[in-house]
Amino acid sequence: MTNSNLTTKAEEILKAAKFNCTKAQVLLLKELLISDKPLSREELIQHMGQKCPDTVTVYRILERFCERGLVHKVYLQSRAWKYELGHNCTTKQCHPHFTCSDCGETFCLTGSSLPLIKDLKKGFVIHRQQVNIDGLCPACS
Amino acid sequence: MTNSNLTTKAEEILKAAKFNCTKAQVLLLKELLISDKPLSREELIQHMGQKCPDTVTVYRILERFCERGLVHKVYLQSRAWKYELGHNCTTKQCHPHFTCSDCGETFCLTGSSLPLIKDLKKGFVIHRQQVNIDGLCPACS
DNA sequence: GCCAAAACTGCAACTATATTGCAATTCACA
DNA sequence: TGTGAATTGCAATATAGTTGCAGTTTTGGC
Ligand SMILES: [Mn+2]
Ligand SMILES: [Mn+2]
Ligand SMILES: [Zn+2]
Ligand SMILES: [Zn+2]
């Protein structure tokens, strides 16, 4: 996809979700669109290079995106939160993630899934089920 | 279980895992033994009261316990890590956790489980699978 | 295109969480 | 009981995320 097509796509997504097409939001969304794994604030900032908005702005954009479900936080071993688009997830279930204990790399297992948990006691309402697997990746095993 | 029995139990566990029975390690392990959910460093310190060891010591003990598998870190929404004994978990799978988006309470779903993920690409080696569910607890739904 | 209101941004200060270095203390075990 | 190894406390430091506020950009109506 050309950079210009990518920009258009990002703008369309923002409009559809009723976000303003500010430079910072478009730039950040483009990074999320081309990533094949969840990214930390730090990683996003590195990828965005010189045009990168302020750290605080990055956090605030991510928070806004999360509030409306455009983006998910993924809770992994790393101390820093990671963020990814929600588009590979069903209503109640995110695809599983695999993190290598050795090299630290995280992989999105978009092809795999587990059933939603059953037999929850009365009164529990599931919003989203996340699966995280620790282990060794092909490069490290 | 009386407090003295609990102490004995903690000491036995420590010895079995080749840990020294220091005051701090016994005290901390006792807190983990009586908890029905994963606890943060902050929560552990509050529970331990005046006899509580230094914050740094708490972190270091937890780290040592984790290294040898006595304790697991649980990765939840909260920014602070949470810790629990590994004794409710099988080799490759921890019991699922449910965290209420409203009140923030975390529940150990020791009665439920999901199958281990299948069809992982060649070369991936699973160490541990964690399942985290966000939603509403009975009190909040 | 121009304007006002709303949304967004950057900077500085701040909070929360975890780590490191090092000297002092405690523990296991002979 | 004495000794080396393991553990601990304290102070300093690092890392991750938040808040307040003034200034800028964006949108939507004209
Ligand atoms: Mn993913
Ligand atoms: Mn648990
Ligand atoms: Zn690896
Ligand atoms: Zn609740």
Segment A80-95, tens digit of pLDDT: 999 999 877 877 888 9
In contact, B82 and B74? CB cutoff 8 Å = yes
Question: What is the rounded CA–CA span in Å between residue A121 and residue A78?
Answer: 31
Which residues of chain B register pLDDT less than 50? none
In contact, B97 and B74? CB cutoff 8 Å = yes
Joined tokens for residue B89: 């978990």
The CA distance from A2 to the nearest CA of chain B, in Å, is 30
Q: State residue A112's pLDDT score.
A: 87
What is the identity of the amino acid at A121? K
Strand C proximity: list residues 30-69 of B with CB under 7 Å: 40-42, 55-56, 59-60, 63
Q: State residue A1's pLDDT score.
A: 80
Joined tokens for residue B10: 């903690």
Which chain A residue lies closest to B77 (C-alpha atoms)?
A: A75
Q: State residue A66's pLDDT score.
A: 95
Q: State residue A21's pLDDT score.
A: 97
What is the reported pTM?
A: 0.91
Joined tokens for residue A136: 């060794």
Query: Tell me: the pLDDT tens digits for A99-129?
Result: 998 888 999 998 888 999 988 999 999 999 9
Q: How far is CA A58 from the centre of its chain?
A: 14
Could you give the dihedral angle defined by the CA atoms of residues B120, B121, B123 and B125, in that order, rounded to the nearest 10 degrees?
Answer: -10
C-alpha distance from residue A57 to each of A27, A60, A85, B91, B96 (Å): 12, 5, 18, 42, 34
Confidence of residue A19 (pLDDT cuts 50, 70, 90): very high
Question: What is the rounded CA–CA span in Å between residue A109 and residue A133?
Answer: 10
Q: State residue B113's pLDDT score.
A: 85
- Answer yes or no: is pLDDT of A2 > 80: yes
Q: Which nucleotide is nearest to B57 (CA to C1')?
A: D8
In contact, B84 and B39? CB cutoff 8 Å = yes
Residue with tokens 């950079």: A3
Confidence of residue A54 (pLDDT cuts 50, 70, 90): very high
Helices and strands (H, E) in chain A, number of each type = 4, 6
Of A126, A130, A138, the CB nearest to B123: A138
B117/A96 CB distance under 8 A? yes
Q: State residue B115's pLDDT score.
A: 92
Of B117, B124, B135, the CB nearest to A127: B135
What is the identity of the amino acid at B137? C
CATH for A3-87, options being 1.10.274.10, 2.60.40.3880, 1.10.10.10, 3.40.50.300 = 1.10.10.10
Joined tokens for residue A86: 């929600």
Q: How far is CA B74 from the centre of its chain?
A: 7
